[in-house]
């Protein structure tokens, strides 16, 4: 048997869902190894979450109704029940009691805010920078916890599978690849931002967990439901904290519209009332489509923050405007950017995938809660609730070392230019053919282009093991899954926005 490591539970990914899974497992007495590609907390999408975490206040049924309505009636009712009925306990337990997160509050308790498509103020927040105020204390808490080992700058390349059961993963660290065997593996690898030129995700969101699970034979569902956030601030000189080809500077939280911010087109006209009765507070997919249409028609869209006490209520965003030379008094230039994948690895109410001892939580999973379009500020909540449940369920199994796949003797080198060029092609296809608007003909074209690209990448994967090559492999597998599911779903619903093209009429 080759050199290897073991633990009871292996968690892959360090966002809120992965941390919650580690907590859930260690509370059962299991020893947990959590590996992450990130080298800083900012490497996880959770750190970047702005709006907050929705909770169920006096009327849980109304919260459920809002989730289902935002999803265009496609959310799974049982999954929504699990989310809402566990929301308050999970938040009280982990965020208030364990981590003592100091949410914004007033004399009467927490200052709940509202975002688009919520029918009441129910979102706990810290300024509009909630993610980091949860993520950093959570990382510190687990780091200091006996029984949890956090290893950064480490990527999972492949799952180790034998006869339908997952036994661990091949981990790469500093060009060294070795097997890590575990009683259970929890995937918490986050989103797919690197597949699109405009994204609100941090770098390295390459769909790793989805690709690894799919290649190991797990069911993957709802991949066509890619959510675009309508208001990413776009500037010409944006650096690439958010994706290589991007002009996105930073996300402007929906909370700004919740507090009164208005969208205006290039002619200075407010347009959202023409698109939806809830105007700026319509569901995210509706606003993203409207912003796209108005940018095309009038050249630009700006978020007018004059009805809001912007500097006082959103000091973090005001600072980011200043950093990027944006004068918010003139309106913040915005465009839709890839934000969240509603589908992913299919899981049940405890995060169990269709493969034995493999779990998935957070954005890489598909619980059914979001259906075709996610309600704002439910992603941290979903990660927390499912993370705790999956971690607890994953505990109690011993690692069982078996023969690992032979990734050990290969040439680790890969020309950087190769990965850059392929990623550039992949993003162009996804942006032009699998973006906010999709036509049947474009989707068919994207399938052909992505198949060819994946074939070129696979030829290298047979002989090399570099992390960037596996990220490219994962991105191309994930992109192909999105394009395939989008091609197969002929119903225009939620984020899957089919428009007719000259060649093929749409079903609706």
Catalytic positions are 284
Closest separation in Å from C-beta 46 to ligand SIN: 11
Q: How far is CA 508 from CA 149, 260, 505, in A?
A: 51, 34, 9
Distance of alpha carbon 481 from alpha carbon 224, whole angstroms = 8
Q: How many CB atoms lie within 10 A of CB 296?
A: 9
**Residue tagged 């981590």 (tokens):** 99
Distance of alpha carbon 43 from alpha carbon 241, whole angstroms = 10
Nearer to ligand SIN, 255 or 286 (CB): 255
* Residue 195 DSSP symbol: G
β-pairing, 301-304 with 332-341?
antiparallel
Closest separation in Å from C-beta 343 to ligand SIN: 16
61 class by beta-carbon count within 10 Å (0-12 exposed, 13-18 middle, 19+ buried): exposed
Distance of alpha carbon 235 from alpha carbon 223, whole angstroms = 29
Binding site for ligand SIN (CB under 6 A): 50-51, 253-255, 376-377, 379
Nearer to ligand SIN, 369 or 457 (CB): 369
Give the number of C-alpha atoms closer than 13 A to the C-alpha of residue 106, restricted to the C-beta side.
Answer: 4
Closest-by-Cβ residue to ligand SIN is: 51
Angle, vertex CA 231, rays to CA 227 and CA 237, nearest 5 = 110
Q: How far is CA 150 from CA 145, 210, 419, 425, in A?
A: 10, 22, 28, 34
Percent of the chain as helix, strand, coil, to the nearest 5 = 40, 20, 40
* Dihedral sign, Cα of residue 493, residue 495, residue 500, residue 501: negative
- From the centroid of its chain, how far is CA 124? 20
Closest separation in Å from C-beta 377 to ligand SIN: 4
- In DSSP terms, which residues pair with 262 in a beta bridge? 304
The string of DSSP letters for 179-246 reads: EEEEEEEEE-----GGGSSSBSSPTT---HHHHHHHHHT--EE-TT-EEEEEEEEE-TT--SSS-TT-
Query: Which residues have CB under 8 Å from 69's CB, separation 6+?
Result: 117, 283
- In DSSP terms, which residues pair with 105 in a beta bridge? 110
Helix/strand/coil for 123: strand
Nearer to ligand SIN, 155 or 376 (CB): 376
Nearer to ligand SIN, 376 or 449 (CB): 376
- In DSSP terms, which residues pair with 226 in a beta bridge? 341
Q: Are 357 and 336 in contact (CB under 8 A)?
A: no
Nearer to ligand SIN, 281 or 457 (CB): 281
Distance of alpha carbon 173 from alpha carbon 161, whole angstroms = 21
Element (H, E) at 394: helix 379-394
Nearer to ligand SIN, 377 or 466 (CB): 377
Nearer to ligand SIN, 51 or 183 (CB): 51
Angle, vertex CA 258, rays to CA 256 and CA 261, nearest 5 = 50
Instruction: Please count the residues of the chain.
Output: 508
Q: Which of 359, 368, 367 is nearest to 390 (CA)?
A: 359
* Dihedral sign, Cα of residue 292, residue 298, residue 299, residue 303: negative
Nearer to ligand SIN, 125 or 473 (CB): 125
Closest separation in Å from C-beta 231 to ligand SIN: 7
Query: Which residues have CB under 8 Å from 505's CB, separation 6+?
Result: none
């Amino acid at each position: 048997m080759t050199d290897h490591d073991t633990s009871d539970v292996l968690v892959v990914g360090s966002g809120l869902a992965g941390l919650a899974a580690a907590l859930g497992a260690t509370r059962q007495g299991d020893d947990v190894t959590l590996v992450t590609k990130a080298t800083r907390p900012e490497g996880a999408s959770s750190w970047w979450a702005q709006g907050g975490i929705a909770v169920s206040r006096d009327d849980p049924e109304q919260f459920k109704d809002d989730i289902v309505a935002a999803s265009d009636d496609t959310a799974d009712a049982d999954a929504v029940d699990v989310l809402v009925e566990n929301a308050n306990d999970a938040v009280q337990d982990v965020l208030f009691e364990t981590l003592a997160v100091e949410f914004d509050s007033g004399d009467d308790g927490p200052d709940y805010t509202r975002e688009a498509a919520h029918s009441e103020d129910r979102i706990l927040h810290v300024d509009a920078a909630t993610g980091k105020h949860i993520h950093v204390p959570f990382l510190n808490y687990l780091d200091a916890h006996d029984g949890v080992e956090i290893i950064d700058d480490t990527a999972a390349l492949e799952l180790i599978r034998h006869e339908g059961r997952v036994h661990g993963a091949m981990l790469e660290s500093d060009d060294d690849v070795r097997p890590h065997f575990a009683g259970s593996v929890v995937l918490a690898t986050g989103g797919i931002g690197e597949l699109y030129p405009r994204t609100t995700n941090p770098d390295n969101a390459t769909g790793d967990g989805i690709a690894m699970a799919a290649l190991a034979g797990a069911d993957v569902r709802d991949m066509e439901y890619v959510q675009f956030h309508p208001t990413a601030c776009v500037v010409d000189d944006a650096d690439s904290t958010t994706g290589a080809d991007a002009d996105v500077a930073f996300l402007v939280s929906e909370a700004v519209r919740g507090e009164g911010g208005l969208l205006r087109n290039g002619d200075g006209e407010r347009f959202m009332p023409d698109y939806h009765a809830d105007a700026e507070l319509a569901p995210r997919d509706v606003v993203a489509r409207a912003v796209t249409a108005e940018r095309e028609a009038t050249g630009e869209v700006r978020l007018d923050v004059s009805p809001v006490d912007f500097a006082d209520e959103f000091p973090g965003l005001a600072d980011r405007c200043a950093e990027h030379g944006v004068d918010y008094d003139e309106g913040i230039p915005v465009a839709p950017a890839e934000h969240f994948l509603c589908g992913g690895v299919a899981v049940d109410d405890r995060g169990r995938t269709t493969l034995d001892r493999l779990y998935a939580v957070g954005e890489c999973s598909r619980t059914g809660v979001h259906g075709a379009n996610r309600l704002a500020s439910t992603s941290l909540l979903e990660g927390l609730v499912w993370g705790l449940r999956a971690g607890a369920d994953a505990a109690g199994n011993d690692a069982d070392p078996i023969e690992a796949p032979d990734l050990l003797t290969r040439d680790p080198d890969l020309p950087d230019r190769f990965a850059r060029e392929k990623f550039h092609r992949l993003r162009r296809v996804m942006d032009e053919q699998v973006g906010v608007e999709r036509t049947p003909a474009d989707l068919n074209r994207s399938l052909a282009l992505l198949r060819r690209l994946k074939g070129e990448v696979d030829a290298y994967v047979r002989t090399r093991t570099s992390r960037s090559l596996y990220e490219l492999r994962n991105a191309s597998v994930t992109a192909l899954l999105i394009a395939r599911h989008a091609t197969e779903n002929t119903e225009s619903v939620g984020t899957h926005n089919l428009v007719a093209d000259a060649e093929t009429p749409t079903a609706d």
